[in-house]
Amino acid sequence: MKPLACAALLCALTLPAHAGKTFTLASPQLGEGVPLSSAQVFQGMGCEGGNRSPALRWDNPPAGTRSFALTVYDPDAPTGSGWWHWLVVNLPANARALPEGASPKAGLPAGTLEIATDFGQPGYGGACPPPGHGMHRYQFTVWALDTDRLPLKADSQAALAGFLLNQHALGKATITATYAR
């Protein structure tokens, strides 16, 4: 065997055990392409739901991850720019889960920041598409980031948060749930 081929084989055999595993997001309340339950539907604007964020768990983040962010986005909202339902940034690198109904008072780690959503305030805002508008997709995404903190405030615009997330993303994992009324 040639020395270069032997060195490549040795490197392949000594990769860390987590190498090659996929960054994943899971939830007991969500399924890919599955309609949201009433617990995750907004309470208001004509919608009658629990307005609770689902429990979320993520595994196998990319090497070099220094923090996480979580977003919930509806690309089908009739706004021309979609609808941001939840933006959570500056989750610590050792975080791997959030409980159902996470908020600054329950379940969000210290130092975590919620950005104002398109409902006009921070915090989870459930699904509430216009009646008869058809099926909407709700993209629950966890972002692995290359920075400890994003330079955002609670009143920062969602578009700025989205720009910074894409600028600092090492990887992301998404579950796309659906809902119509």
High-pLDDT (> 90) share of the chain, %: 89
Secondary structure (3-state) at 167: helix
Residue 147 has pLDDT above 50, yes or no: yes
Residue that the structure tokens 């959503």 belong to: 117
Per-residue confidence (pLDDT) for residue 34, from 0 to 100: 98
Per-residue confidence (pLDDT) for residue 48, from 0 to 100: 96
| Residues 79 and 30: beta-carbon distance below 8 Å | no
* Greatest Cα pair distance in the chain: 71
Q: Which of 11-15, 85-89, 167-171, 173-177 has the lowest mean pLDDT?
A: 11-15
Per-residue confidence (pLDDT) for residue 17, from 0 to 100: 37
Per-residue confidence (pLDDT) for residue 19, from 0 to 100: 58
pLDDT band at 150 (very low <50, low <70, confident <90, very high): very high
**DSSP per residue over 20-82, as a string?**
TPPPEEE-SS--TTPBPPGGGB-EETTEES---PPPEEEE-PPTT--EEEEEEEETTSTTTT-
The pTM of the full predicted model, rounded to 2 decimals, is 0.88
Please indicate whether residue 7 or residue 141 has the higher confidence score (pLDDT). 141
Q: What is the number of other CB atoms lying within 10 angstroms of the CB of residue 81?
A: 11
Per-residue pLDDT tens for 19-40?
579 999 999 999 999 999 999 9
| Residues 180 and 129: beta-carbon distance below 8 Å | yes
Mean pLDDT score of the chain: 90
- Contacts of residue 100, defined as CB under 8 A and 6 or more positions apart, other chains included, come to 29, 39, 52, 53, 54, 55
pLDDT band at 11 (very low <50, low <70, confident <90, very high): very low
Domains by residue range for the chain, with CATH: 22-179 (3.90.280.10)
**Which pairs with CB-CB distance under 8 Å and at least 24 residues apart come from 90-94?**
90/148, 90/149, 90/150, 91/67, 92/67, 92/68, 93/61, 93/65, 93/66, 93/67, 93/68, 93/148
| Overall average pLDDT of the 162-174 stretch | 98
